[in-house]
């Protein structure tokens, strides 16, 4: 019976703002190593024999996912695109239905894309312990062996040991406890943190979900049936999936069945806050976790993350300081769970800093908004070798391109020509145009926009090799 990794990559990670943004959330960031959290999740499977993975993500993130899979050496994976989030129960249903599309009933290894596992050998051992249980028809959840009295996680209380396996019957799922209760559970040894990782046969999960939430399964079936292949992606039927009830897998299924819990003691963290990242990060002699160009003096137990400039601290304790190109967060380490409130305030004020970084990634490369004012905007644009922007037109802005390095092939109205380093060209308002990098090195150019309206939605696409004719993304 084959093992299919099912990676859920649809979260927003708002508690890790300003590094995590709606269009570039934490699962795609490099936080605990040299790879993104999604890439680390997939690399964790290298020691296991498994089929091609299935990744479920938001359609806004499709090109980030595809590029990170390519960079991580994952050549063949199914990428299912949700038009909007409906929580984990429908996401797993989509993966299960896709995995069974050819008549198979594989075992699904369900994992979030944004968890950290320090001990991969212990992780592999837990997978091997859970697999016979899943193959026999059990719904298996993984319970993290707690290392301290944590009040920020839900818990799983174990019952009797399961015959012929390394799991335990789940006595009950428990919400986040107060400090005294968490201390008692830690001492008792019968409670685990709820990891949000699962293993079960696709058919067994769907059967239970259909029994408990038939409308959810019906919507997911219809969304897949109405969906279509788009390059390496599977687009779901928007109307059917929008009608799907939302719900977590715990509330929708696990709490209403008789699952099995397999203990996992592998240095797990969901990196759910800046405090959690501080806890798992290397620290200096004063307890400071430092990233980037940072200078500390008489500062203790701080997390200081600098992305683009020097950050210096003097005489501070227990703070989190995170610097990006367009925002800086300063918070007490014990209150970082509340960062989500700041993100909500940014959204309510209709600011853009919750949505994306100043540097924005596209399938062809990226751009950095260097400066902006009334009726003008300046961007630094990087186009990957062989990549091409869409054939497009703007109603309200003209563009002046100055090539800094590389060579650009420019389509400007009826003309197509090359623009080399230290050369420039002008695109008038209303001209159909395109930009391509025909060379072997990245194309770097400065774009100066001028006009009455400079929003990214002033793009009319006529042709696009990335399937974005109806989308600004």
Token pair of 385, please? 């070798």
Token pair of 120, please? 């991969």
Domain assignment present for 337: yes
Q: What is the pLDDT of residues 232-255, one digit of tens each?
A: 799 999 999 999 999 999 999 999
Q: What is the pLDDT of residues 260-296, one digit of tens each?
A: 999 999 999 999 999 999 999 999 999 999 999 999 9
74 neighbors 83 (Cβ within 8 angstroms): no
Is the confidence at residue 473, as pLDDT, over 80?
no
Question: Cα–Cα distance between 237 and 223 in angstroms, integer?
Answer: 4
- The neighbour count for residue 323, using CB atoms within 10 Å, is 23
Does 255 share its domain with 301?
no
**What is the arithmetic mean of pLDDT over 415-427?**
96
Domain termination site, one of 310, 343, 376: 343
- 6 burial (CB, 10 Å; 0-12 / 13-18 / 19+) is buried
109 neighbors 199 (Cβ within 8 angstroms): yes
200 neighbors 140 (Cβ within 8 angstroms): yes
Would you state the pLDDT for residue 179?
94
Is the confidence at residue 30, as pLDDT, over 50?
yes
Would you state the pLDDT for residue 471?
47
Does 318 share its domain with 426?
no
Where does 280-318 show beta strands of DSSP type E?
Answer: 289-291, 294-297, 303-306, 311-314
How far does CA 13 lie from the centroid of its chain? 8
Would you state the pLDDT for residue 469?
60
Question: Could you tell me which residue, 473 or 394, shows the higher pLDDT?
Answer: 394
Domain of 428: which CATH number? 2.60.120.10
Please, where are the H alpha helices in 136-213?
179-188, 202-212
197 neighbors 111 (Cβ within 8 angstroms): yes
- 335 burial (CB, 10 Å; 0-12 / 13-18 / 19+) is middle
Q: What is the pLDDT of residues 316-368, one digit of tens each?
A: 999 999 999 999 999 999 999 999 999 999 999 999 899 888 888 888 999 99
Domain of 16: which CATH number? 3.90.550.10
Does 336 share its domain with 364?
no
Domain assignment present for 275: no
The contacts of residue 341 (CB under 8 Å, 6+ apart) are none
Question: Could you tell me which residue, 241 or 165, shows the higher pLDDT?
Answer: 241
Q: What angle do CA 428, 364, 75 make, to 5 degrees?
A: 160
**What is the arithmetic mean of pLDDT over 41-70?**
92
Measured N-to-C along each axis, helices 202-212 and 214-226 cross at an angle, to the nearest 10 degrees, of 120
Complete DSSP assignment for 46-106: TTS-----EEEEEGGGHHHHHHHHHHTT----EEEEESS---HHHHHHHHHHHHTTTS--P
**What is the arithmetic mean of pLDDT over 389-412?**
96
C-alpha distances out from residue 230 to 8, 70, 466, Å: 20, 17, 9
Question: Could you tell me which residue, 123 or 455, shows the higher pLDDT?
Answer: 123
Q: What angle do CA 395, 400, 404 make, to 5 degrees?
A: 140
Does 208 share its domain with 59?
yes
Q: What angle do CA 67, 68, 72 make, to 5 degrees?
A: 120
Question: Cα–Cα distance between 195 and 269 in angstroms, integer?
Answer: 9
Domain assignment present for 422: yes
Is the confidence at residue 166, as pLDDT, over 90?
no
**What is the arithmetic mean of pLDDT over 387-400?**
95
Cross-strand bridge partners of residue 378: 371, 448
Domain assignment present for 351: no
Report DSSP state, residue 388.
B
Does 373 share its domain with 263?
no
Where does 346-454 show beta strands of DSSP type E?
Answer: 359-362, 365-373, 376-383, 391-393, 397-405, 408-412, 415-419, 424-427, 433-436, 443-451
Would you state the pLDDT for residue 468?
65
Domain assignment present for 80: yes
Cross-strand bridge partners of residue 460: 393
Domain assignment present for 471: no
Domain termination site, one of 269, 298, 313: 269
Does 53 share its domain with 179?
yes
**What is the arithmetic mean of pLDDT over 380-385?**
96
Is the confidence at residue 470, as pLDDT, over 70?
no
Query: How many independent structural domains does the chain possess?
Result: 3
Does 409 share its domain with 456?
yes
Does 413 share its domain with 301?
no
Domain assignment present for 281: no
**What is the arithmetic mean of pLDDT over 123-130?**
95
Does 190 share its domain with 322?
no
Token pair of 57, please? 């993500």
Q: Which of 3-7, 301-305, 469-473 is predicted least confidently?
A: 469-473
**What is the arithmetic mean of pLDDT over 214-226?**
96
Q: What is the pLDDT of residues 444-468, one digit of tens each?
A: 999 999 999 998 889 999 988 877 6
Question: Cα–Cα distance between 70 and 352 in angstroms, integer?
Answer: 29
Is the confidence at residue 15, as pLDDT, over 60?
yes
C-alpha distances out from residue 255 to 171, 180, 213, Å: 10, 24, 13
103 neighbors 400 (Cβ within 8 angstroms): no
Question: Cα–Cα distance between 260 and 143 in angstroms, integer?
Answer: 10
Question: Cα–Cα distance between 168 and 164 in angstroms, integer?
Answer: 11
Structural domain of 421: 359-463
130 neighbors 162 (Cβ within 8 angstroms): no
- The neighbour count for residue 461, using CB atoms within 10 Å, is 16
Beta 54-58 vs 78-82: how paired, if at all? parallel
Domain termination site, one of 210, 235, 269: 269
Does 66 share its domain with 207?
yes
Q: What is the pLDDT of residues 180-193, one digit of tens each?
A: 999 999 999 999 99
Domain assignment present for 353: no
Does 302 share its domain with 252?
no
Question: Could you tell me which residue, 473 or 214, shows the higher pLDDT?
Answer: 214
Does 37 share its domain with 7?
yes
């Amino acid at each position: 019976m084959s093992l299919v990794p099912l990676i859920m990559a649809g979260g927003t990670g708002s508690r890790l703002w300003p590094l995590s943004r709606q269009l570039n959330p934490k699962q795609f960031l490099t936080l605990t190593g040299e790879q993104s959290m999604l890439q680390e999740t997939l690399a964790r499977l290298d020691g296991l024999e498994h089929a091609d993975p299935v990744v479920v993500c938001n359609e806004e993130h499709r090109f980030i996912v595809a590029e990170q899979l390519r960079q991580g050496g994952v050549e063949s994976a199914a990428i299912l695109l949700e038009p909007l989030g409906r929580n984990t129960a429908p996401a797993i249903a989509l993966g299960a239905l896709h995995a069974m599309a050819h008549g198979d009933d594989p075992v699904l290894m369900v994992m979030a894309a944004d968890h950290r596992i320090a001990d991969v050998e212990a992780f592999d051992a837990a997978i091997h312990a859970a697999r016979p249980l899943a193959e026999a028809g059990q719904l298996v959840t993984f319970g993290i062996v707690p290392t301290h009295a944590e009040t920020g996680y839900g818990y799983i209380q174990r019952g009797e040991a399961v015959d012929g396996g390394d799991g335990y019957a789940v006595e009950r799922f428990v919400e986040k406890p107060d400090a005294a209760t968490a201390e008692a559970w830690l001492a008792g040894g019968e409670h685990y943190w709820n990891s949000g990782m699962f293993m079960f046969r696709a058919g067994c999960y769907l059967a239970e979900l259909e029994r408990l939430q038939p409308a959810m399964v019906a919507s997911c079936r219809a969304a897949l049936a109405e969906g279509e292949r788009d390059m390496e992606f599977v687009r779901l039927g928007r109307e059917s999936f929008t009608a799907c009830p939302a719900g977590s897998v715990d509330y929708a299924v696990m709490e209403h069945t008789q699952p099995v819990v397999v203990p996992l003691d592998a240095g797990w963290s969901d990196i759910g806050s800046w405090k959690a990242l501080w806890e798992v990060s290397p620290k200096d002699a004063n307890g400071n976790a430092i990233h980037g160009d940072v200078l500390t003096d008489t500062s203790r137990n701080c997390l200081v993350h600098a992305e683009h400039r020097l950050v210096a601290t003097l005489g501070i304790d227990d703070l989190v300081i995170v610097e990006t190109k367009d925002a800086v967060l300063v918070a007490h380490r014990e209150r970082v769970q509340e960062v989500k409130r700041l993100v909500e305030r940014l959204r309510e004020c209709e600011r853009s800093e919750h949505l994306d970084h100043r540097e924005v990634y596209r399938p062809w490369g990226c751009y950095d908004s260097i400066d902006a004012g009334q009726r003008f905007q300046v961007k630094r644009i990087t186009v990957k070798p062989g990549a091409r922007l869409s054939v497009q037109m703007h109603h309200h802005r003209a563009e002046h391109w100055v090539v800094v390095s590389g060579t650009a092939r420019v389509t400007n109205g009826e003309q197509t020509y090359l623009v080399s380093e230290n050369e420039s060209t002008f695109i008038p308002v209303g001209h159909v145009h395109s930009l391509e990098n025909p060379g072997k090195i990245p194309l770097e150019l400065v774009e100066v926009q001028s006009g009455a309206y400079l929003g990214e939605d002033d793009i009319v696409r006529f042709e696009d090799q990335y399937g974005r004719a109806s989308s600004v993304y």
